[in-house]
Structure 1
Amino acid sequence: MSRKTRKSMLADLMAGGTQTEGADAARTAGATAGGKAKAGAGGKAQPRTEEIDAAPGATAKPRAAGREARESAAPAAPARRPAARKGAVGAISSAVAAMRANAVVELDPNAIHAGGLSDRLEDVQADDAELRRSIRAHGQQVPVLVRPHPGTPGEWQIVYGRRRVLAARDLGIKVKALVRELDDEALVMAQGQENAARRDLSFIEKVNFARQMEEAGYDRAAIGDALAADKTLVSRMLAVAAKVPAPVIGAIGAAHGVGRPRWLELAALIEGRDPEDVAALVPAVAGDDPAGRFDALLAHLKRKAAAAKPAAPRPEALEIRAEDGAPLAVARRAGQGGRLSLALEAGAGFEDWLLAELPALHAKWKAGQGS
């Protein structure tokens, strides 16, 4: 699939598939207006939402729409009936045709399965409970997007909206869905576009999604299209993915608020270590949430690195004595530049005299060097 074709497909898909809460109201208003227009022509308006039993092999039966006024008494030529399709393939074809005629359908959430790539690193129980409470009180305002399951007739794969499907399953209700016939690449592209539009998806979750796309064989242009990211950002995300092993990312979690520089700092500290060993450290170093786990692991590895680093050797002290054996000074050499420090014993102005005589002493030494 060319990049131009992919972008056109994504634009069409996201325009029709990504809904806002106001979109349901607009759809309802449009359906009502259309129904009134049909009623004025002699028919009765019918609702556009259709309930589908998603059991394998079941055929969707849309409700009959109101008919237009009969045009004349003369009998019309009989319409050609399409060839009947038998079995599961025919049932699914009928269901898909019905879904196209009815934009939003209701599906059994137990017949919807995981699809595409993993986008979230964890589920937040409090957020899931709030979503269930909202759907119980106000209904599902935004439909999910699914495709027909490629391996199980009569069932579906989620493209996006997984949390809404799980909430509907917990509540024992049908889930409102949009259905699109998507191949694997189109599924991943749609999933990535929806992820890129989220405000709550963390940097490392996007990195993890990019890593999965690369491992699945997608090139960087496709990854950029899916995540709405330019080539530079894609390269930076994949650089982090290459340096921070997946087990460590999975053990830490989403870590909202932790950006690329700090993940690279962690990567430098775990370089050369076994990823599973580092991941096993995460529960041991505590941290109440993913960001806290990141901070705790980073601090732990910094302490380990500091303890393992050998201390710089203290320069050896040279004690200087006067001709009569009295302590005169303690000298130390430091660094590669030959820096010399003197700790002079308290004397009757000797330190001032020495400072004043240093140029002459240096000249005398230099003259001796030339002989």
Structure 2
Amino acid sequence: MGASLMARNIFNQPPKDETERAAPSPAPPKAAKLPGSVGGLRDSLREITANSIRDIDPDQIDMDGLRDRLVLEDSSIDELAESIRKHGQQVPIMVRPSAQPDRYRIVYGRRRLAAIRKTGGTVKAIVRTLDDDASLIAQGQENNLRLDPSFIEKSLFIKEMQEAGYKPGVIQDALGLTRQGVSNHRVVIEQLPDGLVQLIGPAHGIGRRQWGDLAALSAKVDLVDIAKETLAALPDDTPSSDKFQAVYSASSRKKARGDKKPTTRDLTTIIKDKDGNSLATLTVADKAIAIKVTKKDNPEFSQWLEERVEATLLQLFDQWRNERGTGS
């Protein structure tokens, strides 16, 4: 099945529970038929092998490859494990052979594998020989059908795929996105500081616009420090989407405080004459400038200044206005 056919509008489909139905698996490649009964028997054996479901010890399966979920060990895994205890594993996972003998690499079904590791026993698995591109596409599409990833989970998955060197077409097919859709996710994730998403979590229900607004704040405030301080005050069971809102609110408040002009503390200077005697006190505050001459220390000067302070102040004002007018 071609990659383009595997990428059909998967995000518009409602998520399916473990017990509802099995996702269709990629069809095995068709081999050329051999003549006679030997060829027919060979084809039959290949078809049976390709479509059989094996019981595999979970310890034989390596959880490698790119992760498309931020949270794997959470309450939903416990709920899935309980469902499997009651009803059995209704939907197989998919694995591919490892380079090591009797070992496999997970393609999709990480949540089911984690749940079965809790319940104990073997895991039902379809074994396929897939290259990296086909494995990635199968992983992205099947996992998206099980539980729709959040916007930021898709963004992180895209970033990891790009850093791993996957081609744009493969990335688009894996997530069922257009080129513009991939770009929209990438623009946001590239603006967010490292570690922030891991602190907040998948934040289901928080979309591109909200994550974009938070990313825009990164140029003004330290989002990681704010997130650590904010989340430390929240209960451990706070939903991820609520964590996002708390971090966004705290970051917005911090930015608003930073946009305001800092309050100038009162600066007081003692003015002395050439002999070092105190003459007056100059106080520069946020909203006023005050010159204070103590009559007790300088009675005669205080009297002289009192008689001339208005004229002197007007003279200084005219001097300032003339200097400003001449541009000096």
Q: TM-score, normalised by structure 2?
A: 0.63
Q: Does 1:284 align with 2:281?
A: no
User: In structure 1, what residue type is equivalent to 2:145?
Assistant: A
Contact 1:19 1:143 in 2 (8 A): no
**Deviation sequence 1:183-239 (CA, Å, 0-9, x none):** 222211211222333443211111111111111112332211110011221110111
1:306 aligns with 2:248: no
Aligned counterparts, 1:114-153, within 5 A: 114-123=63-72, 125-149=74-98, 151-153=99-101
Counting only pairs closer than 5 Å after superposition, residues 133-212 of structure 1 correspond to structure 2 as 133-149=82-98, 151-212=99-160
Cα pair distance change 1:109/1:99, threshold 3 Å: farther
Q: 1:107 aligned to 2:56?
A: yes
Q: 2:191 aligns with which of 243, 251, 254?
A: 243
Distance in 2, Cα, partners of 1:128 & 1:182: 27
Inter-partner Cα distance in structure 1 for 2:157 and 2:48:
30
Matches within 5 A, 1:72-91: none
Q: Is the 8 A contact 1:208 1:241 kept in 2?
A: yes
Does the C-alpha gap of structure 1 residues 286 and 22 become closer, same or farther in structure 2, counting only changes over 3 Å? closer
Tell me: CA distance 1:305–1:8, structure 2 relative to 1, closer, same or farther (3 Å): closer
Unmatched 5+ residue regions in structure 2? Answer: 9-15, 25-37, 39-44, 264-285, 289-328
SS in 1 for 2:3: helix
Question: Quick one: which amino acid aligns to residue 193 of structure 2?
Answer: P
> For residues 184 and 210 of structure 1, what CA distance do their matches in structure 2 show?
15
Cα root mean square deviation, aligned: 3.5
Q: 2:122 and 2:6 mapped to 1: Cα distance?
A: 29
Q: 1:144 is aligned with what amino acid?
A: I
SS for the counterpart of 1:6 is: coil
Equivalent pair of 2:7/2:176 in contact (CA under 8 Å): no
Q: Aligned to 2:219, which of 271, 289, 304?
A: 271
The one-letter amino acid paired with 2:82 is R
CA distance in 1, matches of 2:217, 2:100: 46
What is the CA distance between 1:241 and its match in structure 2? 1.4
Partner of 1:93: none
- The structure-2 alpha-carbon separation of the partners of 1:113 and 1:107, relative to structure 1 and needing over 3 Å to count, comes to same
Instruction: Tell me if the contact between 1:122 and 1:253 (Cα under 8 Å) persists in the aligned partners.
Output: yes
Take 2:93 and 2:80, find their aligned partners in 1: how far apart are those partners? 14
Q: CA 1:189–1:309 in structure 2 vs 1: closer, same or farther (change >3 Å)?
A: same
Partner of 1:6: 3
Shift of 1:8: 5.6
Aligned residues: 240
- Distance change (3 Å), C-alpha of 1:273 and 1:301: closer
Q: Provide the rounded CA distance (Å) in 2 between the counterparts of 1:235 and 1:187.
A: 22
Change beyond 3 A, Cα 1:98–1:237: same
Which consecutive unaligned segments of at least 5 residues does structure 1 have?
12-17, 27-78, 80-95, 317-371
* Structure 2 Cα separation of the partners of residues 300 and 275 of structure 1: 9
Whole-Å Cα distance in 2 between the matches of residues 219 and 230 of structure 1?
Answer: 13
- Shift of the 187–278 alpha-carbon distance from structure 1 to 2, 3 Å rule, reads farther
Aligned in 2, Cα 1:245/1:175: closer, same or farther, shift over 3 Å? Answer: same
Distance 1:19 1:302 in 2: 38
Larger RCO (CA within 8 A; separation ≥ 6): 2
Task: Return the offset for 1:285.
Answer: 5.0
Shift in CA distance, 198/169, structure 1 to aligned 2, threshold 3 Å: closer
Q: Residues 320-348 of structure 1: CA distance to partner in whole angstroms, max 9, x if unpaired?
A: xxxxxxxxxxxxxxxxxxxxxxxxxxxxx
Do the aligned partners of residues 312 and 144 (structure 1) sit closer, same or farther apart at CA in structure 2, a change above 3 Å counting?
Answer: same
Question: Residues 23, 126 of structure 1: CA spacing in aligned structure 2 closer, same or farther, 3 A cutoff?
Answer: closer
Q: 1:155 to 1:279 in 2, by over 3 A?
A: farther
Letter in 1 for 2:75: A
For residues 101 and 197 of structure 2, the distance between their equivalents in structure 1, rounded to whole angstroms, comes to 35
